[in-house]
Amino acid sequence: MTVDDILLETEEKMMKTIEAVEREFAAIHTGRASSALVENIQVDAYGSMMRLKDVAGISTPDSRTISIQPWDAANVQPIEKALLKASLGVTPRVDGKLLRIFLPQLSEERRKDLDKICKRHAETGRVSIRNERREALDQAKKLQKDGKITEDDLANAEKEVQKLTDQYTAEIDRCLAEKEKEILTV
């Protein structure tokens, strides 16, 4: 393994961390209907667990409603059960072969709670990025100890890893600021 391999691997892991944080943020509902709120909920359909978006069409007819149209009418009950189990804080309404979720207006207290949840997800992402930095530095130090790279190469690797860490930490901060703006603005 070379320093370039370590840097590429570290950057790939950091990108995956950013994607995970963005997925967590997308699942936090902000009073506006979004299919991201429900699309990955696991539904017991056809004898196995499947994502909701794989067993039904999901649409948002207006800013407060999520409409779910199962491909197969037999899946209405399992979808309703999965939505209740998902603890979204809302109850789906079954309307024949269609399920509707009506999202209430967010109270100020709930907005602050959602903001805290977002901050927790962001901090988890930052910790993950710092752990990836530590792993990369440990690998580079091992290469230097084994005589495969020079001290100058190690110093350059440390600078590059720190640059990546700063870049991806700033990206998490940007995503957090965007989500906070979405949550806290009425």
pLDDT on residue 29: 67
Residue written as tokens 């039904």? 56
- Looking at domain 35-102, its CATH class is alpha beta
pLDDT on residue 37: 78
* Residue 150: DSSP 8-state: -
pLDDT on residue 6: 92
Task: Name the nearest CA neighbour of 99 among 87, 90, 111.
Answer: 90
Which range, of 17-21, 27-31, 42-46, 172-176, averages the lowest pLDDT?
A: 27-31
Q: If pLDDT is split at 50, 70 and 90, which confidence band does 69 have?
A: very high
Rg of the chain on CA atoms, in Å = 22
- Looking at domain 3-26+107-184, its CATH class is mainly alpha
46-75: average pLDDT: 88
pLDDT on residue 31: 65
User: In the chain, at which residue ranges do the beta strands (DSSP E only) sit?
Assistant: 42-45, 48-51, 56-62, 65-70, 93-95, 98-102
Q: What is the pTM of this model?
A: 0.68
68-85: average pLDDT: 89
pLDDT on residue 130: 96
b/e per residue, 99-111, with b = 16+ CB within 10 A?
Answer: bebebeebeeeeb
Residue written as tokens 């720190």? 162
Instruction: Please calculate the CA angle 162-165-167 and round it to the nearest 5 degrees.
Output: 110
Distance CA 51, CA 139 (A): 38
Residues 125-183: pLDDT tens digits?
999 999 999 999 999 999 999 999 899 999 999 999 999 999 999 999 999 999 998 88
Q: Which residue has the higher pLDDT, 167 or 75?
A: 167
Residues 87-137: pLDDT tens digits?
677 788 888 889 998 887 778 887 888 888 899 999 999 999 999 999 999
- Distances in whole angstroms, Cα of residue 27 to Cα of each of 5, 81, 121, 122, 123: 33, 19, 11, 14, 17
Residue written as tokens 């910790």? 127
3-state secondary structure of 74: helix
Give domain limits for the chain. 3-26+107-184, 35-102
Q: Which residue has the higher pLDDT, 27 or 10?
A: 10
- pLDDT of residue 16 exceeding 80, the answer is yes
Q: If pLDDT is split at 50, 70 and 90, which confidence band does 186 have?
A: low
